[in-house]
Each structure stands twice: as C-alpha cells, then as structure tokens.
Amino acid sequence: MDSVLNGSSLLADDATVDLAKEFEASKVQEVVDKLDRELVGLVPIKTRIREIAALLLVERLRRRFGLSAETPTLHMSFTGNPGTGKTTVAMCMAEILHRLGYVREGHLVAVTRDDLVGQYIGHTAPKTREIIRKAMGGVLFIDEAYYLYKPENERDYGQESIEILLQVMENNRDDLVVILAGYKDKMDRFFESNPGMRSRVAHHLDFPDYSAGELKEIAGLMLGQQSYKLSAGAEAALEEYIPLRMKLRHFSNARSIRNALDRARLRQANRLFARRDKPLTKCDLLTIEAEDIRASRVFVEGKLDGDPIGMAAGS
C-alpha cells in the first residue's frame, strides 16, 4: 500500500495540494492512453474508468488530510457479451489501482468456476483460498461468475466458494479487488440470488456490443499489430463480411473478428504456398487479398434464412 494510505504523514489543515501534479505523478494517464489505443469505442466504459480513477486520486488526497479512514469499496461487476473488452479493461483497472496505491502489486488473476469449486466435500475451500492467495495484492477476475451458484444441484459446492469470497471481499478490501464478469441477464439473476454479493459490489459497468464500423476499425488495429494489411478488394470484402457474421450464432464481437483474420491469414499462406515456384515480395507477404476473406463460409451461410448450428466463429 502507498505510504500515504497508511497515514504516515498528515498535512496541516491550511496546506494545499496540486491535483494536476498528483495526477501526473501517478502516471495513471499512461494507462488511460493505453486503454484508448487498445480498445475501440466503449466510450461509456472509458468514461467510467476515468471517473473511478479521479475518485481514487481525490480519496488519496483526502487521506493526506485525515479526512477519511476506510478504503473505498472497489469491487466491480463487468457485464456484456463475449469479446467486448472486459478482460482488457480489468487489466487496465488493476494497473490503475496499483499506481494509485490501492493494491500492492497490480497483477490480475483471471479464473472461472472450475478454478474455485471442487468436485467433492472438502475440496472447494482450499481451491478457493489458494486462488485468493495468488490474487492478494491485485485483482481477482471471475469470468462467468454466475456459474458459481447452482441452486438446482443440492450437491453443488459453489455456495461454499461464494461464502469465502464474500468474507474476503468484506475483510480484505485494502488488499484485493474482485471483478465479477459475465452476461448481463445471468449476472442480474446471480445478484438477485446472492444479495450479499451485490451489496459488496460498488461499480457496475455494462459493456456494449461493437458496431460494424467499430469492428472494422478493430480489424485494422489487429492487422497492423501483426504487420498485415488489406488490399482494396479485401477491405471491401471485410465490410461485407462483418454485418453477415454479426447475424450468426456464437458471434463474439472482437473475438470473432480476430478468429476471422486468423483464418484469412491461413488462406493467404496457403495461397502463397500454392505458387511457391514464383518469388515473393514483401508486399505479397503482408497483404491479405479479397479471396482470403471471401473464401469464408459466412458469405454463403450468413445470407441463408436461419442460423446454421455449430457455425464456427470467424470461419
């Protein structure tokens, strides 16, 4: 913890603090800028993250004057469909908390039910406590957290894990932040069934789906990071592909776009290999062509009535 948070030196009542300098010194802006670079859109989420960062910075300054005694509740709920950036935002949140001195290490431990809940009596408690031990000093990110609660199964041990988490979330607020994530409707039911959990979560962030335009921008960022580019024809093909893919089952926003680009790279490699008797240029190696995109089944199945079962994301 930050020495200021431990109350090692209080300021006099007539002292002043420079909020701008404090913010600059915290280097939180670097994390916010990184979030802007890595995530397209999500304006409401980014705004909320900045608001939380401002709250924590002001709270830290208040402590320097002895104006507050308890660590603010920082546990969070991230709801939204897959591929909307929840894990990325959680990682940035962990870094912000660390830079402002609210967690010691700033690492993120991402888990699911299988990491916390055992399959027989006496197995769940040690599993849950071991994960908590690893996450102490940072952020524990529990994806699909609603699977911890299965009231229809009398022999399920998820409730034991929930009880341990509730105790830690209340008693160790100064050394661990828990972020619960999953689909909004299922998370709402989870909180209704576990009011103790809802009362410990101070910040609820709902991640919207990406628009077609935002997904195209995301594709451009992904390709740039891997030193690829789209030809004019491939760019037009991708613009057609995205709305068709969005209509199909198992669409996972940015995750589906990443899968689609991986498949396009696979097709590009096979196309180049098929003409291996001809020399290749740098441009050949970095360019995705229209045929690499249009070979996807999405162009056929996405235009059919109904939704084919088992349609692979990004195929």
Same domain, 185 and 222: no
Tell me, what amino acid is at 196? Answer: G
Q: Which residues contact 238 (CB under 8 A, 6 or more apart)?
A: 216, 219, 230, 293
In-domain check, residue 218: yes
Residue 87 lies in domain = 19-207
Is residue 5 in some structural domain? no
Last residue of a domain, one of 207, 229, 250: 207
User: What is the CB neighbour count within 10 angstroms for residue 54?
Assistant: 13
The secondary structure element, H or E, covering residue 153 is none
Report the C-alpha gap between 147 and 109 in whole angstroms. Answer: 18
Cα separation, 207 vs 83, in Å, equals 10
Per-block mean pLDDT, blocks of 10 residues, the chain (315 long)? 54 87 92 91 93 91 82 93 95 95 94 94 94 97 95 83 96 94 96 93 96 96 96 97 93 96 97 94 97 94 49 44
CA distance 293 to 288: 8
Which of 182, 207, 232 corresponds to the end of one domain? 207
One domain, residues 270 and 196: no
78, 207, 248 from 41: Cα distances, Å: 16, 10, 22
For residue 159, being part of any structural domain is answered with yes
Q: How many domains would you assign to the chain?
A: 2
Amino acid 315: pLDDT: 52
